[in-house]
């Protein structure tokens, strides 16, 4: 007979059975039985963050860098509501995460009891699924099912809300076998006839482009290798969404750079002029497509996605394939070889791409007096690339500069908030990544505004002796907001200037970090070297040009062919062009 356990012990035993080694959380009254159960075991390590939002972002960073689901534990009421931002972030970016929330006792639900919130109602639209468990006998099965849902199909967050009395009550626990959900059965293997049709379309294309997204990374490291093999076999150029960076090596001659609003000129123009676009694990986000009626207007379109609802949701395609991207790429490569296909003569297509590349759209002006943020990112990349760092970011100009100028060669090395654009993501995500990869170099590229959203997590890194490096591009502005105000609001900088910034060096030291400041171009290389060579956590306040703009850029609602380039800024036409386009 299975042993009778408390609900809290059932939860902890189920987590152990599922291979969970770390939980990110913050205690409170409604989860004290669970915390006591964690205290009485030694298999799962709890990471105490300083804010529940940070727990979710740390779990995201852990999940994205390791490929394993992140686990969060927070209390009821404000604990749960503070986690909602990170839960939504994980949903939009397809990150596997299980969030365990405490709830008031079952007989108090609906009475507006102390720290009661309708967690199930609040999270219904920002989770893949959520549970309110009222019977401890069901808790073990629910936990196993929650992990199955979070990690299978299109990954995402699942919430388990557990009333306090259920945590105390006892029931038998037996680990279930293979989870077979009655209704949730994502299609992993693609239909072979559709894959064969896709291969024939690719073999016939004269101007193909492979458009890759975060789904390639979520599918596992084999998917990235298969993508490289397909690109090599077909000779097609490759571009990526923000979330897909690292799935294809940036050093490859077939890499065009990132696509979309702050993507490269050559990637956007190739997408516009392609005759075949193969979308692999991306969802046609508005930041990628620009104006929909002008998106890749001359191409046949193939869309591969494990999420059936994503196909034909935003962009109508000629061929939709439901299935895991890795499995689909495996079949495409196998069929391509079996049918003896050779590379098409794409020389004319590559000559046109070379003309677009010749614009050197990521170049930027330098006068020697100020540190240009692009130069700072390139210097950081050159100094750290041999160590294959894991890079997280906050959200803003610095995020896009990092995407443009930091070359990623491997998957699971680029962690950023894409769909939700969550300021405050980078520091806790770096902490989670460092927990999951204790020997890795982890760098959070930050802005002085975003870093303050969760700056209290400096204490978390100190407590667990995590050697995270934070590299702040400090221009004293909410830079992306200021850039849009210059473009479309006649330079009226309404509340985008930070007039009362802290001394980041002294603040870092107060938290037990090493603090450094870089103020001149001739200090850049030495300051970065010091950051990388200093043991333990280090924060760098790098003072960069205040009014630098993140270019190239497609204004909202414009087409890929209507990019604003650095030359437009130099000639003084940038704001005029933006106003004409929006």
User: What number is the average pLDDT over the span 7-34?
Assistant: 98
Q: Which of 558, 363, 370, 334 is nearest to 474 (CA)?
A: 370
Place of tokens 């931002």: 85
What's residue 575's pLDDT? Answer: 57
The yes-or-no verdict on residue 284 having pLDDT over 60 is yes
What would the two tokens of residue 45 be? 């390590």
What's residue 571's pLDDT? Answer: 55
- Domain 192-357 and domain 373-550, same fold? Reply is yes
Question: Considering the domain 373-550 in this protein, what is its CATH number?
Answer: 3.40.50.970
User: What number is the average pLDDT over the span 113-122?
Assistant: 98
More confident site: 344 or 543: 543
Catalytic (active site) residue 519: no
Catalytic (active site) residue 52: yes
* Collapsed DSSP state (helix, strand, coil) of residue 328: helix
pLDDT above 90 as % of the chain: 94
Fold that domain 192-357 belongs to in CATH: Rossmann fold (3.40.50)
pTM of the model: 0.96
Domain boundaries of the chain, sorted by first residue:
4-170, 192-357, 373-550
Q: Which of 429, 424, 519 is nearest to 476 (CA)?
A: 519
Catalytic (active site) residue 114: yes
Mean pLDDT of the chain, nearest integer? 96
Fold that domain 4-170 belongs to in CATH: Rossmann fold (3.40.50)
Catalytic (active site) residue 404: no
For 375, phi then psi, to 5°, come to -65, -40
The yes-or-no verdict on residue 574 having pLDDT over 80 is no
pLDDT in tens, 540-554: 999 999 999 999 999
What's residue 444's pLDDT? Answer: 98
Beta-carbon contacts of 421 under 8 Å, excluding residues fewer than 6 positions away, are: 395
Catalytic residue (choose from 115, 138, 187, 456):
115
What's residue 570's pLDDT? Answer: 56
pLDDT in tens, 473-499: 999 999 999 999 999 999 999 999 999
Q: Check: CB of residue 30 under 8 Å from CB of residue 59.
A: no
Compute the distance between CA of residue 446 and CA of residue 308 in angstroms, rounded to an integer: 35
**R_g of the chain computed on alpha carbons:** 24
What would the two tokens of residue 369 be? 């007096």
What's residue 332's pLDDT? Answer: 98
User: What number is the average pLDDT over the span 92-108?
Assistant: 98
Catalytic residue (choose from 39, 41, 45, 114):
114
User: What number is the average pLDDT over the span 530-536?
Assistant: 98
DSSP H helices in 280-340: 286-289, 325-338
* Collapsed DSSP state (helix, strand, coil) of residue 192: helix
User: What number is the average pLDDT over the span 459-478?
Assistant: 98
Catalytic (active site) residue 399: no
Question: pLDDT confidence of 183, banded at 50, 70, 90?
Answer: confident
What's residue 1's pLDDT? Answer: 62
User: What number is the average pLDDT over the span 266-291?
Assistant: 97
What's residue 582's pLDDT? Answer: 47
What's residue 253's pLDDT? Answer: 97
Catalytic residue (choose from 201, 269, 423, 480):
480
Catalytic residue (choose from 164, 300, 301, 469):
164
Sign, CA dihedral 71-73-77-79, equals negative
Beta-carbon contacts of 406 under 8 Å, excluding residues fewer than 6 positions away, are: 377, 380, 381, 391, 445
pLDDT in tens, 60-70: 999 999 999 99
What's residue 151's pLDDT? Answer: 97
Q: Is residue 490 classed exposed, middle or buried when 0-12, 13-18 and 19+ CB atoms within 10 A define those classes?
A: exposed
What's residue 58's pLDDT? Answer: 99
What would the two tokens of residue 125 be? 């639209």
- Tell me, rounded to whole angstroms, the distance of Cα 296 from its chain centroid: 25
Catalytic residue (choose from 24, 52, 97, 372):
52
Instruction: Order the strands of the 70-74 sheet from edge to edge.
Output: 45-48, 22-26, 70-74, 97-103, 157-163, 129-132
Lowest mean per-residue pLDDT among 27-31, 86-90, 96-100, 560-564: 560-564
Q: What one-character-per-residue DSSP string does 138-152 give?
A: HHHHHHHHHHHHHHS
């Amino acid at each position: 007979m299975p042993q009778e356990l408390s609900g809290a012990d059932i939860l902890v035993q189920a987590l152990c059975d599922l291979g969970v080694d770390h939980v990110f959380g913050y205690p409170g009254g409604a989860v004290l039985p669970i915390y006591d159960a964690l205290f009485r075991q030694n298999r799962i390590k709890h990471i105490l963050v300083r804010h529940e939002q940070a727990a979710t972002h740390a779990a995201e960073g852990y999940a994205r860098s390791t490929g394993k689901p992140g686990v969060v534990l927070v209390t009821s009421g404000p604990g749960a509501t503070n986690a909602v931002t990170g839960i939504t972030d994980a949903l939009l970016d397809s990150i596997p995460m299980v969030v365990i929330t405490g709830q008031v006792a079952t007989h108090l639900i609906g009475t507006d009891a102390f720290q009661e919130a309708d967690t199930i109602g609040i999270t219904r639209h920002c989770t893949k699924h959520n549970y309110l468990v009222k019977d401890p006998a069901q808790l073990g099965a629910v936990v196993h099912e929650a992990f199955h849902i979070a990690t299978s199909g299109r990954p995402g967050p699942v919430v388990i809300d557990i009333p306090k009395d259920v945590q105390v009550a006892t029931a038998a626990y037996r680990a279930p076998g293979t989870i077979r959900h009655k209704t949730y059965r994502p299609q992993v293997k693609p239909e072979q006839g559709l894959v064969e049709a896709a291969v024939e379309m690719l073999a016939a294309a004269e101007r193909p482009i492979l458009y890759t997204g975060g789904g390639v990374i979520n599918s596992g490291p084999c998917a990235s290798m298969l993508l490289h093999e397909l690109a090599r076999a077909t000779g097609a150029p490759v571009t990526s969404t923000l979330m897909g960076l690292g799935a294809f090596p940036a050093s490859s001659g077939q890499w065009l750079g990132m696509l979309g609003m702050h993507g490269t000129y050559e990637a956007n123009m190739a997408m516009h002029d392609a005759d075949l676009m193969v979308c692999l694990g991306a969802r046609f986000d508005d930041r990628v497509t620009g104006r929909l009626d002008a998106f890749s207007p001359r191409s046949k379109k193939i869309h591969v996605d494990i999420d059936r609802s994503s196909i034909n949701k935003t962009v109508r395609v000629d061929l939709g394939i439901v299935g895991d991207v890795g499995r689909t790429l495996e079949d495409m490569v196998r069929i391509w070889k079996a049918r003896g296909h050779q590379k098409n003569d794409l020389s004319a297509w590559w000559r046109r791409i070379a003309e677009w590349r010749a614009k050197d759209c990521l170049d930027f002006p330098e006068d020697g007096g100020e540190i240009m943020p692009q130069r700072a990112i390139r210097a950081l990349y050159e100094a750290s690339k041999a160590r294959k760092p894991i890079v997280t970011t906050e959200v803003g100009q610095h995020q896009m500069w990092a995407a443009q100028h930091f070359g990623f060669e491997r998957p699971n090395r680029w962690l950023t908030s894409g769909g939700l654009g969550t300021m405050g993501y980078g520091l806790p995500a770096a902490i989670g990544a460092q927990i999951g990869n204790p020997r890795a170099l982890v760098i959070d590229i930050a802005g002085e505004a975003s870093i303050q959203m969760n700056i209290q997590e400096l204490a978390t890194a100190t407590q667990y002796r995590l050697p995270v490096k934070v590299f702040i591009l400090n221009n004293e502005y909410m830079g992306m907001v200021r850039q849009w105000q210059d473009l479309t609001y006649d330079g009226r900088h309404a509340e985008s200037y930070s007039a009362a910034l802290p001394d980041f060096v002294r603040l870092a030291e107060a938290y037990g970090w090493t603090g450094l400041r870089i103020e001149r171009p001739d200090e850049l290389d030495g300051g970065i070297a010091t950051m990388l060579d200093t043991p333990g956590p280090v924060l760098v306040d790098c003072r960069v040009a205040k009014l630098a703009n993140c270019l190239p850029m497609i204004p909202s609602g414009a087409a890929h062919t209507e990019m604003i380039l650095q030359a437009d800024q130099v000639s003084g036409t940038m704001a005029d062009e933006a106003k004409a386009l929006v």
